[in-house]
A and B are shown apart, each in its own frame.
Chain A
């Protein structure tokens, strides 16, 4: 199609245009090579930023309760994540209120409840709790900041980390009929 357009023109006027086009192709900022370079640069920067922002050489995804309690630099109200297990019998919520108050302690892998001798951190949260919040196998990750005056961790978001082992309902609770509703608020 291109060659048809050009053959309509007188021969002597074509050649300079073709050469100019060819020259622009190599050196101009519109050339494929430059555009590809810009694209590659943008992608590389985006990937590098995501790697920098996410890789925990820069920041850890969360700190444990004892790390948080020991490191007073984290108590200045900065936003961070603290992970641990729900301290047994610490949960309080008044009737008709959406404010939950509870305490977290350190979690040992595969052991329900908090680790023996672990420090505890008081926390508050306004909103709906995740389904597996009260499951003793769950590790709870709080996103929020520490309120030094009231000595409570003010939670913006609750995430629940589940054990990496999967076990059937029948194996853990042999009495449960297959297909019956799952206890403990699971799905």
Chain B
């Protein structure tokens, strides 16, 4: 990861620190995920009603929550970009939306896998599932608008607007199980969760999974932002070459 010895480098210390942070986060995420796998499949107790399939809970819930974090960052960075017009705001918005889409896709997939043996169907059009699918569509549209806009500049502004308005769906997803009749279990974590929703050992493993997934989330976010910066540099070099 360090610059090749003897070669001059234009990297600032700040940028080098970010590179190091990415490496350390990757290592941290790898170690935490391995430990998490041991906790989920060996240490965590088998659920009395659902049996072994309930272990998918320790994966499904953290990635769902972190997809919310991705869209929150996207909305905040979108506001930042509209006010300041700084490229780094847009890079954060773009990267967090992409990571958020990956996480919400995984949340839908793990949910479908969990639903089949427990509910008896892969999918049903109930409030939590439908609002989550709408969330997926909103942020896929966000990524498409970036590409389809006539100029990259317009893509940044329009997608920022979509990212900010689209975030409205996140609290709707979270509260959907409270507001409407649903087949989905109510919240086990966050402001609306019941105190006794989880046994202490299950709650502790859930928190650990959340931290492990957060490390992975942070790594993917920083890696994507760095990649986006390289893309921007490349686009600038192309423009310079064409204008000569």
Binding site for B on A (CB under 8 A): 32-33, 35-36, 39-40, 43, 46-47, 50-51, 53-56, 60-62, 83, 130-132, 135, 137-138, 141, 157-173, 178-179, 182, 184, 186-187
Contacts and interface: CB of A to CB of B under 8 A. Distances in A.
A53 B125 contact: yes
Nearest to A165: B197
The CB with the most chain A CB atoms within 10 A, among B121, B133, B145, B196, is that of B121
A172 B50 contact: no
Contacts of B120: 130-131, 157-160
Closest 8 A-B residue pairs measured CB to CB? A168-B45, A186-B51, A130-B120, A54-B130, A164-B185, A32-B150, A187-B51, A172-B48
A171 B180 contact: no
Interface residues of B, number: 48
Interface string B124-147: 111100110110011001001100
A45 to B, nearest CB: 12
B199 A166 contact: yes
B185 to A, nearest CB: 4
Interface in B178-196: 180-183, 185-188, 194, 196
Contacts of B1: none
Given A47-B134, A56-B180, A169-B45, A164 B197 contact: yes
9 contacts: A32-B149, A54-B131, A130-B119, A158-B120, A160-B119, A168-B48, A179-B46, A182-B52, A187-B117
A168 B202 contact: yes
Contact of B53 (A50, A137, A172, A187): A187
A47 B137 contact: yes
Contacts, number: 139
A137 B45 CA distance: 19
Contacts of B196: 165
A163 B49 contact: yes
Interface string B34-47: 00000000000111
Nearest to A51: B134
A11 to B, nearest CB: 20
A131 to B, nearest CB: 6
A137 B49 CA distance: 8
A169 B44 CA distance: 11
Contacts of B182: 61
A168 B49 contact: no
A135 B148 CA distance: 51
B35 to A, nearest CB: 20
